[in-house]
Amino acid sequence: MGRGDKKSRKGKIAIGSYGVSRNKKGIKARLKRVNSRPAAATEVATEEKPKAKRTTRKKEAAAE
């Protein structure tokens, strides 16, 4: 099964046809879902949060 096979997914892609192994409705639905995602939701996930600064505690007994 490969590019020359009309029944396989690779073959359908190579030929440019649709069918059971590569149905057009499923492909269109997936593309619609991916492209309709709000841009703000993807930007929030990529933002890096600043790291908390580490500070040392001063010993009060040593200061006296």
Residue 16 zone, left/alpha/beta (φ > 0; ψ -120 to 50; rest): left
Judge whether 13 and 21 are in contact, CB under 8 Å.
Answer: no
Q: Please check whether residue 4 lies inside any domain of the structure.
A: yes
Domain count, the chain: 1
pTM over the 0.75 mark:
no
Instruction: Look at residue 61 in the predicted model and tell me its pLDDT.
Output: 58
Domain around 7: 1-39
- 2 in any annotated domain: yes
Residue 52 lies in a domain: no
- Per-residue pLDDT tens over the stretch 30-58: 889 999 887 655 555 556 777 777 777 77
